[in-house]
Homo-oligomer: A and B are copies of this chain.
Amino acid sequence: MPASYAYLGPEGTFTEVALRTLPEAATRELTPYVSVQSALDAVRAGEAEAAFVPIENSVEGGITATLDGLVAGEPLTIYREVLLSITFALLVRPGTRLADIKTVSAHPAAQPQVRNWLKANLPDAVWESAASNADAARLVQEGRYDAAFAGEFAAARYGLEALETGIHDAENAQTRFVLVGRPARPAAKTGADKTSVVLWQRTDHPGGLRDLLGEFASRGINLMLLQSRPTGEGIGNYCFCVDAEGHISDRRMAAALMGLKRLCLEVRFLGSYPRADITPDEARAVRPGTSDEEFTRAADWVARCQDGRF
């Protein structure tokens, strides 16, 4: 298998910075791809060992290109997640002053995160969308725009300077990234894990989704993300991308997934992997009645009853 990771390029974006926080990235060749879909396809085609792409953002929510890329096509598995705090720098050619800036550029996803800052500091600047924040920086270098919002780390690469740093409208603006590869045995549980699945309902009826969520709730499993995505079969037809607290090797999670497999038209398992937001010490206590030991004792008891030994 090629020792290379595909990632959403170009170089010099938050995605590359997040990827480089993974120890395993140091021993791989890192190859930028032009889109999430092309990075995922590189894994499916065997050109890359894994792909690293953004999946959730505290301002925009689920990244639909990534969710759709995992929902459809050959199955892939999430191996790891990375959280990165996102703050922007205003990058300009050396010598540019704030008063000189008539045009600003960045990826469209950056716009809601810098809108208030722009209104307060550059109310008359014209916004020009770019294919990525790094591309916006390149266009500033070439003189096409006056300023770009990008990571401060992009300044050196494009010969720019940061006129302002730490720009972010929302406190705690974060993006979550995932490392995705071909189906494989999930990493061992750490005690602070997350399990991702996609659920397709069998029929649309009152209480249908409530019943599916009940498979998690009745076993004390908290949900961390529930994102509906169109199935492509017309308006109002959705599947559900779900992130749940826990690991598929937890008895409660295995039981919930078995329940969903029975109730759903289809369930796609996207992986169990360590959470990036908390350590095992910080994980919430398991709800009474849902620990592995209690599941085991309950199964033993039913077996004894079936056996006449109650």
Contact = CB atoms under 8 A, between A and B. Distances in A.
Interface stretch (A1-9, A95-103, A227-235): A227-235
Interface in A94-131: 108, 129
A83 B174 CA distance: 35
A230 to B, nearest CB: 5
A237 interface: yes
Interface stretch (A144-152, A178-186, A216-224, A297-305): A216-224
A61 interface: yes
Contact of A207 (B61, B171, B217, B227): B217
A265 interface: no
A235 B58 contact: yes
A277 B229 contact: no
Given A170-B232, A234-B174, A235-B176, A217 B206 contact: yes
Contacts of A171: 233-234
A222 B235 contact: no
Given A210-B216, A216-B206, A235-B56, A228 B225 contact: yes
A205 interface: yes
Contacts of A237: 58
Contacts of A58: 230, 232-237
Contacts of A213: 207, 209-210, 213
Copies in the complex: 2
Contact of A236 (B216, B235, B277): B277
B61 A229 contact: yes
Contacts of A224: 236
Contact of A222 (B174, B204, B222, B233): B204
Contact of A234 (B129, B172, B223, B230): B172
Nearest to A115: B37
Interface residues of A, number: 49
A22 B57 CA distance: 37
A233 to B, nearest CB: 7
A226 interface: yes
A214 interface: yes
Contacts of A62: 228
Nearest to A207: B217
A264 interface: no
A227 B174 CA distance: 20
Given A221-B206, A222-B204, A287-B206, A60 B64 contact: yes
* Smallest CB-CB A-B distances: 3 pairs: A207-B217, A172-B234, A210-B213
Given A58-B237, A210-B210, A213-B213, 9 more contacts: A60-B64, A60-B230, A108-B108, A176-B235, A205-B222, A209-B213, A211-B217, A227-B228, A235-B277
16 contacts: A57-B235, A60-B64, A61-B64, A61-B238, A129-B129, A171-B233, A171-B234, A176-B235, A204-B222, A206-B217, A206-B220, A206-B287, A207-B216, A210-B213, A225-B236, A226-B238
